Structure 1
């Protein structure tokens, strides 16, 4: 079991994916397997609060949610990245995380004790509001969040700008190292 990394950006190969790739490379250096999924181009509907997921551990809506949910369940770690849109995570990522939470709540909380955390990228500001919103997802699902030397944030306006943000890359590398250490410690 490795770590599932999900980009909540509607843009492929943008700053969010670039910073997530720094995280991915560091996990691989630490011998932790990874799988990357971009929500870009995926159809993720909003939760209908229909309770049809109770006891079946999947959502009845016909979109891309269930295949990604299966990947979340198959991995010990789960990390999400989001650009900041109007001071918050993307609505695409939030729709996915809200459904993920609801299905998990209704099916014996299979996200409990998974390890992960959020990463946020903005042009100027809003990263901490976004991180706080995403941390709430991890906490309410009883997940373990490794720390870093600062928040898991970066700054990048134009595509590729994040590659110049050395501080951001150092925060993400340390986050990956700490996550890898926790996974290895639990497996030992």
Structure 2
């Protein structure tokens, strides 16, 4: 019966799908998460790790980089990264240039931040401004990577922070993964997020969806042509 199934021309597409599925398990893929919290082992890290558990279950490598407790220069808009186009920021004395090649080599990126005044934590904001600006100056190498955002909050402001993080992904033409609710987890003291059972599930589902998107992207790359990159048009509304 098995031989009949695979020899029937009507079932050649499922058979190809089966072969592709086998090949995917032999392809190395990695997701890097950025922990923008000052606390290396707080609720933001917990949320990111829950997504990471699901990714590892799906055969995707997962790494978390902590940037939230380090001094990070804010972007001054000097545009030296556009002049030099060497994949680096002009400020060479903080973590940005160290992390940039890691993110460039990753298949997926998750941004995580606690909520500060209904927004992204300061060091994380500076890190993202410069990181995504350098990417844009060097051919937008985040383009079509799978991306997601996670916010950790005590009470409110989570969705605003979540939306702010997603702005970096959407302007970079990244493929944004979602979950079964907005990617926000609640807790004040470290480890309290574990009590937010719905939030924990959201992170697990997010990890599964990221893994699925990565595998679908890999499985279809030779079947569906990637859209060509277009030159950016800049509009000045003041004439």
The TM-score with structure 2 as length reference comes to 0.76
How far apart in 1 are the matches of 2:112 and 2:195?
18
Question: What residue in structure 2 maps to residue 72 of structure 1?
Answer: 103
Q: Which runs of 4+ in 1 moved over 4 A?
A: none
Q: CA shift at 1:115, angstroms?
A: 0.5
Q: 1:164 aligns with which of 182, 190, 195?
A: 195
Q: 2:88 aligns with which of 58, 67, 70?
A: 58
Identify unmatched segments of 5+ residues in structure 1. Answer: none
Q: CA shift at 1:41, angstroms?
A: 3.4
The TM-score with structure 1 as length reference comes to 0.96
Q: 1:56-76: per-residue Cα shift (whole Å, max 9, x none)?
A: 121121221111111110101
User: How many pairs are equivalent?
Assistant: 188
How far apart in 1 are the matches of 2:34 and 2:59?
19
Higher RCO structure (Cα 8 Å, ≥6 apart): 1
Q: CA shift at 1:159, angstroms?
A: 1.4
1:145 matched to 2:176? The reply is yes
How far apart in 2 are the matches of 1:115 and 1:82?
18
Q: What SS does the aligned partner of 1:162 have? A: helix
Question: What residue in structure 2 maps to residue 7 of structure 1?
Answer: 35
Question: What residue in structure 2 maps to residue 135 of structure 1?
Answer: 166
Q: CA shift at 1:40, angstroms?
A: 3.5
Question: What residue in structure 2 maps to residue 23 of structure 1?
Answer: 51
Higher gyration radius (CA)? 2
How far apart in 1 are the matches of 2:47 and 2:171?
25
RMSD: 1.0
